[in-house]
């Protein structure tokens, strides 16, 4: 039996590994304007079938699994929900844009991996096309014995507007420790209060110590509801070709969320025609790894 298989429908792709549907990629999801319609991965599953992502949680309906986002782009919101402003805090505005799937350029369905590349356009709520994106998802590294699989994500963003674009976050707008943006995963609510480990920090450092750090990797482990046991998501900071470098946004309370943020506290500015790229790796495990095991796997599987 092949390690990975791919099934394509009109609006989604489903990746299967070892008989488990490990990932559903909704590339034309639709949805409410306020939620910032964009492609997303949900559900993501471990090899035991346990869920690793949350979808439209009651506190933030625009949180949808694992997805590429950006909270502040020259006053526009490509994340969803209210926008943070220095003077007023979070307010709902008519500035929530969308990411349009324009088509797949390559799709690879091999025995040992599945990958797909696509073109997208970021469109403001007013209908202006601001960003052309090329992204690739690559599913690989299946290890049934150790209960894990890997996802590599790469993207290139190009400014197609007729003006400079400033990419930021709520922290660049004045809210401390709120640099969420980029490739963001919202994990199951059962993982609230879960364990956070990071490269270069003590095992008991916790999420608050990791927030805003430049660690090479961060691992989040939690226990499941309904199913026995737990799981682990190990994320690598990877690479950014522009800006101040990757810093981590992570919370264990009041809900579990993790993102390698390219513009945590400093802006990235692109002139018309300029571009920058990101590359990240996530490893998904079917149990709670020990700290020593996590650090060993992080060294072995680094991007």
Q: What confidence tier does 253 reach under pLDDT thresholds 50, 70, 90?
A: very high
Proportion of the chain above pLDDT 90, given as a percent: 98
CATH of the domain at 59: 2.70.98
> For 288, what's the count of Cα atoms within 13 Å in the CB-facing half-sphere?
12
CA-to-CA separations, 115 to 15, 62, 73, 106, 208, in angstroms, rounded: 9, 26, 28, 8, 35
Q: Is the pLDDT of residue 23 over 80?
A: yes
> For 295, what's the count of Cα atoms within 13 Å in the CB-facing half-sphere?
10
What are the respective helix, strand and coil percentages of the chain, to the nearest 5? Answer: 5, 50, 45
Transcribe 198-214 into DSSP letters.
ETTS-TT-HHHHHTT--
CB neighbour list of residue 129: distance below 8 Å, 6 or more residues apart: 121, 122, 123, 160, 161
Q: Is the whole-model pTM more than 0.85?
A: yes
Q: What is the pLDDT of residues 127-154, one digit of tens each?
A: 999 999 999 999 999 999 999 999 999 9
Q: Is the pLDDT of residue 191 over 90?
A: yes
- The total number of structural domains in the chain stands at 1
Q: What is the pLDDT of residues 151-173, one digit of tens each?
A: 999 999 999 999 999 999 999 99
User: Is cis: bond before 43, omega within 30 of 0?
Assistant: yes
CA gap 129, 261 in Å, rounded: 23
> For 215, what's the count of Cα atoms within 13 Å in the CB-facing half-sphere?
29
CA gap 22, 150 in Å, rounded: 11
CA gap 77, 198 in Å, rounded: 29
Q: What is the pLDDT of residues 24-59, one digit of tens each?
A: 999 999 999 999 999 999 999 999 999 999 999 999
CB neighbour list of residue 37: distance below 8 Å, 6 or more residues apart: 29, 30, 31, 98, 99
Q: What is the pLDDT of residues 48-96, one digit of tens each?
A: 999 999 999 999 999 999 999 999 999 999 999 999 999 999 999 999 9
Beta bridge partners of 212: none
Give the sign of the dihedral formed by CA 130, CA 66, CA 152, CA 115: negative
* Domain span holding position 227: 4-300
Q: What angle do CA 110, 299, 264 make, to 5 degrees?
A: 90
CA-to-CA separations, 32 to 56, 79, 121, 129, 215, in angstroms, rounded: 11, 12, 18, 19, 35
């Amino acid at each position: 039996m092949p390690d990975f298989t791919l099934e394509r429908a009109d609006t989604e792709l489903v990746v299967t590994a070892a008989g488990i549907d490990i990932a559903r990629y909704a590339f034309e999801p639709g949805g409410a304007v306020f939620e910032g319609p964009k492609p997303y991965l949900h559900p993501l599953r471990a090899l035991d079938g346990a869920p690793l992502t949350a979808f439209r949680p009651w506190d933030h309906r625009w949180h949808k699994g694992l997805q590429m986002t950006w909270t502040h782009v020259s006053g526009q919101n490509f994340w969803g929900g209210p926008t943070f402003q220095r003077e007023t805090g979070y307010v709902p505005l008519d500035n929530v844009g969308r990411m349009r799937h324009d088509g797949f350029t390559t799709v690879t369905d091999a025995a040992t991996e599945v990958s797909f590349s696509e073109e997208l356009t970021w469109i403001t709520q007013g209908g202006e096309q601001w960003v052309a994106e090329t992204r690739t998802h690559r599913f690989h590294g299946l290890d049934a014995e150790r209960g894990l699989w890997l996802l590599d994500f790469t993207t290139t963003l190009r400014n197609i507007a007729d003006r400079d674009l400033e990419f930021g976050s709520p922290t660049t707008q004045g809210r401390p420790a709120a640099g969420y943006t980029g490739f963001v995963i919202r994990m199951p609510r059962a993982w609230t209060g879960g364990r956070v480990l990071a490269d270069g920090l003590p095992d008991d450092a916790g999420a608050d110590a990791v927030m805003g750090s430049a660690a090479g990797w961060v691992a989040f482990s939690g226990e499941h509801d309904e199913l026995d046991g737990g799981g682990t998501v190990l994320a690598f900071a990877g690479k950014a070709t522009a800006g101040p470098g990757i810093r981590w946004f992570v919370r264990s309370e009041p809900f579990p969320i993790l993102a390698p943020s390219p513009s945590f506290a400093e802006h990235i500015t692109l002139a018309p025609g300029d571009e920058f790229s990101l590359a990240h790796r996530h490893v998904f495990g079917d149990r709670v790894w020990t700290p020593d095991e996590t650090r060993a796997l992080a060294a072995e599987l680094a991007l």
